[in-house]
Amino acid sequence: MDDIFVARLMSSTLYTANRDTLVEDAAQTMLDGDVGAVLVVDDDDHIEGILTSTDFVGIVAASHPKAQTSVERYMTEDVVTTTAQVPIRDAADLMIEHGVHHLPVVDEDDRVIGMLSTRDIASYLSSEETPSP
């Protein structure tokens, strides 16, 4: 992988907001763009921060008053799963094909036994490859 550079893999379509953008608008931008983050930039497109889907977990948890909305309202019901014996490349392909970052791992009885995330795959690749100087 020494001959593959960031420029080859990066997305060049950027989803941005400024410091004054409402979180609701940033969330809508993320949904519209099907992305997990918006970059917070100044008027000259210098990065000032990043707002990710993980940040929204904290936003929802800290919201007052509490919305008292059940998970059922927003959960995905047609969950893409994998099994423990699927090769990692096939699991990664499945994630890309379905646009997901998390794959629940199920046993032969469809009981959940684990979770595979894009972070797990990135960590694996990072430990398999010697970092460049």
Q: What are 45-62's pLDDT values in tens digits?
A: 999 999 999 999 988 888
**Element housing 82 (H / E):** strand 82-83
Identify the domain containing residue 13 by its residue range: 1-71
CATH of the domain at 83: 3.10.580.10
Please report the pLDDT score of residue 106 as a whole number.
Answer: 95
Q: Which of 71, 102, 120 is the last residue of a domain?
A: 71
Q: Half-sphere exposure of residue 112, counting CA atoms within 13 Å on the CB side?
A: 9
Residues 63 and 2 in one domain: yes
Q: What are phi and psi of 114, to 5 degrees?
A: 180, -175
Please report the pLDDT score of residue 76 as a whole number.
Answer: 86
Q: Which two tokens stand for residue 99?
A: 């646009």
- Say if residues 4 and 12 touch (Cβ distance below 8 Å): no
Residues 34 and 82 in one domain: no
**Which stretches of the chain drop beneath a pLDDT of 70?**
1-3, 128-133
Please report the pLDDT score of residue 133 as a whole number.
Answer: 45
Please report the pLDDT score of residue 128 as a whole number.
Answer: 66
pTM above 0.85, yes or no: no
Please report the pLDDT score of residue 5 as a whole number.
Answer: 76
Please report the pLDDT score of residue 72 as a whole number.
Answer: 85
Please report the pLDDT score of residue 1 as a whole number.
Answer: 52
> Which of these, 56, 10, 16, 48, lies nearest to 33 by C-alpha position?
16
Please report the pLDDT score of residue 81 as a whole number.
Answer: 96
Residues 84 and 133 in one domain: yes
